[in-house]
Amino acid sequence: MDLGLRGKIVLVTGSSKGIGRSIALAFAREGCQVAINGRHTRELEQAASEIRAAGGTVHAIPADVTEAEGARHSVEETVRRFGTIHVLVNNAGGIGRFAPFEELTDDEWLDVFKLNVLSAVRVTRAALPHMQKQKWGRIINISSESGTQPDPVMPHYNASKSALNSLTKSLSKAYGKDGVLINTVSPAFIRTPLVEEMFTQQSEARGVTVDQVEQLLLREFRPNIVLGRAGKPDETAGVVVFLASEQASFITGSNYRVDGGSVASL
């Protein structure tokens, strides 16, 4: 199936590892020119080398997208290097401190919203004019199952991802007329460095292997994942690439769940 993505220019924020890196690699394999981003140069360069080794065209942009300047710079640098931007994937995100409501401070709430919401707002603000001018654009916001089905812990993270879902819907209604299609992809429990770190901590704390931890955590915290395993980053990347493609030309304002069946709603 021709996805019609050859030559398209793509920026994926937070793409030096994890889901973002898989997404960047998947776009490169479709013949896109890909700008990748992260704060740490060494990991970013490693990801760039991996994409080049796979035959892709890549430009690495070290920047912190929680800073106004970093968010703007990531788009400006993509346009300076490749000429425009067709596809933006707002992937940079994180959970903040794993804690119940009563322990979370105002600053922790603000930091999580800065990372999961305001960064997407700022990067989108910088990218939209280019998409409007060419009457073609795709924005895919990486949310989470917990934006739809919040857990009792990490309410700051859950609320920030719900806000991102709402942002997606608003913007899809505002900019569809300009040919800019905006959707959300909501993964759950994907084995990325973020989750691997948690597995390692738990394996040390419980004195069991990392694979045993995966099964224990699935039983204790994720019994709803009907497929009975954690997901792989590539399983999210495939949906993102599809949503950017010509095959998805009548889809906007949707939320695609990549959660192994976890979310209970229809």
Strands (E), the chain: 9-12, 33-38, 57-62, 87-90, 137-142, 180-187, 255-258
- Amino acid of residue 137: G
**Measured from the CB of residue 95, what is the shortest distance to ligand NAP in angstroms?**
7
- For the chain, what is the radius of gyration of the CA atoms? 18
Q: Is 175 marked active-site?
A: no
> Which structure tokens are listed for 94?
């994180």
**Measured from the CB of residue 7, what is the shortest distance to ligand NAP in angstroms?**
25
Q: Which of 27, 82, 113, 157 is catalytic?
A: 157
Residues that bind ligand NAP (CB under 6 A): 13-20, 37-40, 43, 64-66, 91-94, 115, 142, 144, 187-190, 192-195
**Alpha-carbon torsion (229, 183, 133, 66), positive or negative:** negative
**Measured from the CB of residue 176, what is the shortest distance to ligand NAP in angstroms?**
24
CB 63 within 8 A of CB 109: no
Q: Taking Cα atoms as reference points, which of 171, 168, 165, 194 lies closest to residue 263?
A: 165
- Amino acid of residue 212: Q
Residues labelled as active-site residues = 157
